Structure 1
Amino acid sequence: MEIETAEAQRTHREEGREAIAYFRSPRAIRERCEQIFAWVNEGHSRYFACDLTQLERVADYVISVMRCEYPDLQIPFHSRWRHFEVGNVPRLNQLENRLAELTPLFKAAAKFDLAIVSVLLDAGAGENWRYYEQETQLNLSRSEGLAVASFKMFCQGAFSSDNLLEVDALKLQALTEAELATGFQVNAENPLVGIDGRWKLLQKLGEVLVSLPHLFGEEKPRPGNLVNYLLSKSENGQLAASTVFNAVLEGLSNIWPGRLEIAGVNLGDVWQHPCLETAQSLHPAFVPFHKLSQWLTYSLLEPLQELGLEITGLDVLTGLPEYRNGGLCLDLGLINIKNQEIFRLSHSVASEVIVEWRALTVILLDKIAAAIREKLSMNAEELPLVKILQGGTWTAGRKIAAELRTDGKPPLQIVSDGTVF
């Protein structure tokens, strides 16, 4: 009997490991989102219907934005690095000058430190928050404002226990909410959505860095040590984008608050949708998105390329299911609303309507990308999804929102806790 029990326990553990690996994979994101997409197209949704006849129009709109932003179609990756350049200010050149004396490896580690902290601090800022940059007199909002605020804090050594251009576990764990609020110029007149959630996320990151020495180093754990781990996973100067993504998910899954778990492992940006409950599989209702983790992955690729690595399999990762890409699909009629009431309400990120919207966005981004490539006679190697997002759907989503609504808000309102978008 004991042998059978031990066998059963081993089987259970193995099933748990397999399920965790599955829900951390881009394949799971597409498969689960595809099931919701099919369900919506069968007419079952209470909220949405898709109109694929609008695909050509959306592709044309995005191409017009791409040609305006990048006339030669030499589009960079959709990543945090773009936001640091807001206002055509050469902040990255300034950073390069300050890192000039470091070896290429330490330079890449510093950039990992910056990108990881900055992306984790990027969840929606709300409509009222602004960051005033003294040197340029720019008043910045949303993602760009958050980027510059985190960039300035990093350059001032605010995330380092030695006041260096780096981030370390000791300082993150000691960081106070007041320090973060000061760095982000938050006060009663300048409120930032989810400042408490962001602070706790950084503190939790400090704890996680210490707990995973194989990823973040034994001595003075820091996010940048992930560079060494990824170099060890490269072969013949090549590194798969999915390898970077897996490392991000393994390294950071425990920082997310109160999420779904399997065998005690926090899954991160994974939610549930009732249309999947009848599926014949373990944890059938689960829908993974991993939006911030994928965007962070995209943001880590450039420092790796600067080390001479060739990144392979870019299109294994998915489009990002956030309100600009999803807003594009809604505002241009690829997704239609069945009940106008949802425009007037604010929705939890765990709500059926938001999970459904995000799932449709993942699948429609693949379809938009295919239509764009066909119109431009380019293939996925020449125009990977990460460039279409930048060129691209994210920019187009912001543009159409500004054309349709005076404040440029997304069409659906999401209650943010500072940890998802």
Structure 2
Amino acid sequence: MVPTPDDYLLSLRAVRERCFRVQEAGIRNRLQHFDVDPSKLQDVVQFVVSLIKRDYDEPSAVPVHGIWRHFDVSGRPRIQHLLNSWSSLGFDATEKTRRVLDLFVVAVLMDTDADHVWSYRENATGRTYKRAEGVAVAVLELFTAGAFSSDVNQPHRVDSEALINLSLDTLEQGFQVDHKRNVLIGLEDRLDILRNLGKVLQEHADYFQKTGPVPRPGNLMDYLLEHSSTIKTKKGALILLETLWPVVQCMGELFVAERPSGKGGIPGYGDVFPCAAIQYNSSDSTDHYVPFHLMSQWLVYSLIEPMERLLGATIEGTELLTPLANFRNGGLLMDTGFISLKPKEHERGIESYHKNSLLPGQPKIEVAPLFEMDDPVVVEWRALTTAYLDIVAERVRDALRLNRNKLSLTRLMDGATWSAGRELAEISRPNTQEPPIIVKGAIY
């Protein structure tokens, strides 16, 4: 059956195909907002290779990309400690997996590379963390305190009732927010996403209410295990990615696109935006729409790991997943000089930054171009990031003489590209460590 335009734009296949159309437009000098310097591509590859060699004795030791890494900041195996405590209480592998999925879903939907101002002091250790790792540790301590559970006797879970009734005050206390000294931008947006997740859990009982009286994100494990396409093997369940994909899409991405701001994507499609560089037909056509589905892909990358590690499951079809069009990966391409803003767009972004800096609480140091999430500059940047990281991945494998099985895309992102983008930001903008383009109101 030929997919409809709607089905196509919701698919993973469309992400890679449309982003490569933007990349090809760059080769034909049709980009509207960026210039590409092909001579710098090898610099990107060499930097990524150098990080892998610096940080890992063997490429096989590179971990997969997922939210689990954020929880283990400072080498403390927080998730394993949780698993050990649940084992001591007699919970089986399936329930432990449900609980980890509960936690990881909330953590992904709350995930934001918070700016340099906010920090979190971990209650258990007294250590202070920032950015994505700080957010993860804060979510973990909220989770263990029962903030996401409506059953005081079962605090270590997430359920629909607790999410729907979650208050901003609970989140602000949990994230140690101080409106003068420790501001966390966008917390209200994340609260809206979590409350919507609570409604989604109730509306999609076929996905989330297979076990227990209250719908939970982790119950998607039961849906997957019982699905007619899942194959039982001696090692564990063989689960098709196409079975998981619609489940994760309904969790947050589609809601973000429906919000009144109109900056989270196209309603009905999710994280999808028009791109003039590939617009050849009338504006009524969807041929120039570019999907990214970042939140949904980040969920998949993060949920696969506990399914495989705790239940021995195998997810079939992960080769369809793409590089994540986030601002660390995109920053890698810009801070190496491989792609750069056209002068007029750089000027527009700087003007926007200065206007924004006049608002209360907004940064006034380390000036960088600033754009809204739905700005055509950001769309083109994300598309180039997705396509060129695929190309970088192939060249890195060639340089290390490894195939995809030995160095998968998910390992490459965790072991090199994401961390490379962050390290370059720390070098280029040491005070704020922001990416080279600031995206105002970023949800993805």
TM-score (norm 1): 0.90
In the alignment, is residue 409 of structure 1 matched against residue 434 of structure 2? yes
Q: Provide the residue aligned with 1:225 in structure 2.
A: 219
Cα distance per residue 1:332-378 (max 9 Å; x no partner): 12212221323543211100000000000000110010001101111
Cα distance per residue 1:204-255 (max 9 Å; x no partner): 1101110001111163111011111122242243223444333211444443
Q: Distance between the aligned counterparts of 1:76 and 1:241, measured in 2?
A: 20
Tell me the amino acid that sits aligned with residue 214 of structure 1.
Answer: D
Matches within 5 A, 1:339-350: 339=343, 340-341=346-347, 342=349, 344-350=368-374
**Match among 195, 198, 215 for residue 203 of structure 1:** 195
Q: Provide the residue aligned with 2:320 in structure 1.
A: 316
The alignment of Structure 1 onto Structure 2 pairs a total of residues equal to 403
Q: Distance between the aligned counterparts of 1:93 and 1:251, measured in 2?
A: 26
In the alignment, is residue 194 of structure 1 matched against residue 190 of structure 2? no
Query: Structure 1 residues 251, 409: CA separation in 2 closer, same or farther (over 3 Å shift)?
Result: closer
- Asked whether the equivalents of residues 238 and 316 of structure 2 are also in contact (C-alpha less than 8 Å), the reply is yes
Matches within 5 A, 1:15-414: 18-73=4-59, 74-100=61-87, 101-163=90-152, 164-188=155-179, 189-217=181-209, 219-231=213-225, 232=227, 233-236=229-232, 237-258=237-258, 266-279=268-281, 282-305=285-308, 306-339=310-343, 340-341=346-347, 342=349, 344-407=368-431, 408-414=433-439
Q: Distance between the aligned counterparts of 1:258 and 1:207, measured in 2?
A: 15
Tell me the amino acid that sits aligned with residue 273 of structure 2.
Answer: W
- Asked whether the equivalents of residues 258 and 267 of structure 2 are also in contact (C-alpha less than 8 Å), the reply is no
Q: Distance between the aligned counterparts of 1:137 and 1:251, measured in 2?
A: 33
- Asked whether the equivalents of residues 160 and 202 of structure 2 are also in contact (C-alpha less than 8 Å), the reply is yes
Tell me the amino acid that sits aligned with residue 270 of structure 2.
Answer: G
Q: Distance between the aligned counterparts of 1:336 and 1:161, measured in 2?
A: 49
Could you tell me how far 1:274 is from its partner in structure 2?
A: 2.2
TM-score (norm 2): 0.86
Q: Provide the residue aligned with 2:353 in structure 1.
A: none
- Asked whether the equivalents of residues 84 and 91 of structure 1 are also in contact (C-alpha less than 8 Å), the reply is yes
Tell me the amino acid that sits aligned with residue 139 of structure 1.
Answer: T
Query: Structure 1 residues 243, 371: CA separation in 2 closer, same or farther (over 3 Å shift)?
Result: farther
Q: Distance between the aligned counterparts of 2:205 and 2:167, measured in 1?
A: 24
Q: Distance between the aligned counterparts of 2:37 and 2:319, measured in 1?
A: 25
- Asked whether the equivalents of residues 315 and 386 of structure 1 are also in contact (C-alpha less than 8 Å), the reply is no
Q: Provide the residue aligned with 1:11 in structure 2.
A: none
After alignment, is 105-114 or 247-256 more displaced? 247-256
- Asked whether the equivalents of residues 256 and 270 of structure 2 are also in contact (C-alpha less than 8 Å), the reply is yes
- Asked whether the equivalents of residues 167 and 222 of structure 1 are also in contact (C-alpha less than 8 Å), the reply is yes
After alignment, is 319-328 or 94-103 more displaced? 94-103
Q: Distance between the aligned counterparts of 1:275 and 1:254, measured in 2?
A: 25
Could you tell me how far 1:94 is from its partner in structure 2?
A: 1.7
Moved over 6 A (4+): none
Tell me the amino acid that sits aligned with residue 129 of structure 1.
Answer: W
Fraction of identical pairs, as percent: 35
